[in-house]
Amino acid sequence: MGEAEILIAGLLVAIAGLSALARFLSLPYPIVLVIGGALLGFVPGLPEVELEPEVVLVIFLPPLLYGASIYSNFTDLKDSLRGLTLNAVALVLVTMCAVAVAAHTLIPGMTWQAAFVLGAIVSPTDPLAAATIMRRLNAPRRLVSAIEGEGLFNDATALVAYRLAVAAVVAGGFSLAEAGTELVLGAIGGVLIGLVVGFTAAEIRRRTPDAQVSVTLSLLTGYAAFVPADVIGVSGVLATVTAGIYMGIRGPKVLPVRARLQGYFVWDILDFIVNAILFVLIGLQLPIIVDGLSGFSAGELCLYGFVVSIAVAGTRLLWFFSVPYLIRLLDRRATQRDRRVDPGSRLIAAWSGMRGAVSLAVALAIPLTIDSGEAFPNRDLIIFLTFAVIFFTLVVQGLSLPYLLRRLGVTDGGEDAGEEVRARIVASNAAIAKIDSLQDEEWTRDGTLDRMRRYYQYRERRFAARADESEDESYEEQSLQYQQILQLVFGAQREALIRMRSEGSLSNEAMNRILREIDLEEARLEI
């Protein structure tokens, strides 16, 4: 078996095995992947992995950003725009500077330019693990949305800062005025390209009834936004995120049902695979990176990793317990007071600043050489420290976050569930109104409309009872019994179909087509 086959087999086994372990331990999979990836690289016999820095960002970044932005809560992002902007721009730059100062001061031979490269890489957050934990423990939706929104937009600031820092190392020069101009123009250009790509993608997919073609176009949209923006020198991150948010807003209106259903599952799997591959690949590269750090002792490397991690986490904690209070002093408007959160929620937000796949991708994209032909200074050390920060934030902060949430009692208080129930009542009433409007149509039958009306009237009464806890709870009991009966009925249908296939009286293709319909019906159940 060649090296390529060994690598592919190792990736598949590692991803499947570590993910299964994460589910068994009831942990978000990034936490297990970062630990398993670190151990995997030192397994004897695995081939060395060398990635081309120029293609890492282009391959991994667009799907990560686009997939996350499609399903973001746009309304929540809009409501917290000021705080989001501060965290996505100012906090990123402050974190970058804090890390650069710590690294340059502590590590012998670490130039300011290389230190700022490290700071830019570890400054953006990755909300995947934090959001998974927070949703599992019913944290307030607005808090989760704020963490996810920050993770989407701070990548743009970090990537601009990263490229400027890398250019300073490679070419040996840096201009603050040029940096500010590039940040502003890059943001504007990225948003404009994202809107154009998002609009174009929505119009094409609106006219594309085939679900497979539509989902394929969805997979290409992130690249269609990122690559042109990157080529002309504007923010590919903002272009991709903007296109994703635009598509997330228009998608429910213009996409066929099958395209929406298939797209949801495809993006769910793709997001998992891209994250998993990145963690495993960095693990496989660790032996090469460690070999390049022969001038440092294990104790020194652990110390450097710990100090840089503390600089990252400490800066975020200090920011969340200083800047918001400064804003309160300066802005006393009622709208500002309505946006205030309690110290417990603020601590959760500060402690949720974990780093992940984006930082990995950016670290792996560091050039191998500079203009003079020499090796990029401290490249291996920067990648190692990036992994150390990710390891610290995911493992230490990720494992302690559930305790903090429970200890501080930060929950949504049923607000999210109440909002969903109200929406279901509105949807049921809309269905009843539509059924009533069809009563006089010649092509409709009274018996059919009556059955549908009774069904939606029952749903409306059931959700109304759920919204008002003083009402009779028999509706929920009846619904549960009904769904349990349906589950048994669906199971009987599957067994009958499988028996027909085994007897040779039903083709596999026809069986799977009918099973898909049964599965879709069962997917609607709430048990």
Predicted model pTM:
0.81
How wide is the angle at C-alpha 355 spanned by C-alphas 54 and 344, nearest 5°?
Answer: 155
HEC string of 428-485?
A: HHHHHHHHHHCCCCCCCCHHHHHHHHHHHHHHHHHHHHHHCCCCCCHHHHHHHHHHHH
Can you tell me whether residue 265 is helix, strand or coil? helix
Average pLDDT of span 35-39: 80
- Written in H, E and C, the secondary structure of 364-380 is HCCCCECCCCCECCCHH
> Is 70 exceeded by the pLDDT of residue 469?
no
3-state secondary structure of 65: helix
Q: Give tens-digit pLDDT for 56-75.
A: 778 888 998 898 888 887 77
List Cβ neighbours of 217 (8 Å cut-off, separation of 6 or more): 201, 204, 205, 208
If phi > 0 it is left, if psi is from -120 to 50 it is alpha, else beta; for residue 106 that is: alpha
Per-position DSSP letters for 390-436, written without gaps between them: HHIIIIIIHHHHHHHHHHHT---TTHHHHHHHHHHHHHHHHHHHHHH
Answer yes or no: is pLDDT of 472 > 60. Answer: no
Residue 3 pLDDT more than 80? Answer: no
The 10s digit of each residue's pLDDT in 90-118 is 999 999 999 999 999 999 989 888 999 99
Which pLDDT score, from 0 to 100, does residue 124 have? Answer: 92
* The predicted structure's pLDDT at residue 142: 80
Q: Which two tokens stand for residue 465?
A: 């009872």
For residue 185, which of 249, 131, 145, 238 has the smallest C-alpha distance? Answer: 238
pLDDT tens by residue, 360-411: 888 888 888 887 778 888 998 999 999 899 889 988 998 898 889 888 888 7
Instruction: Please write the tens of the pLDDT for every residue from 506-516.
Output: 899 899 899 98
pLDDT reading at 187 higher than 80: yes
d(Cα 37, Cα 22) in Å, to the nearest integer?
13
pLDDT at 58: 85
Residues 6+ away with beta carbon under 8 Å from 237: 61, 65, 155, 156, 159, 190, 226
Percent of the chain with pLDDT over 90: 30
Q: By percentage, how much of the chain surpasses pLDDT 70?
A: 90
- pLDDT by residue (tens digit) across 248-294? 989 888 888 888 888 888 998 888 888 888 777 777 777 777 777 87
CA distance 166 to 371: 11
Tell me how far apart the alpha carbons of residues 198 and 19 are, in angstroms, rounded to a whole number: 33
* 376 backbone φψ class: left, alpha, beta (φ>0; ψ -120 to 50): beta
Cα 405 to chain centroid distance, Å, stands at: 20
Helix axis angle for 508-523 and 474-503, nearest 10°, is 170
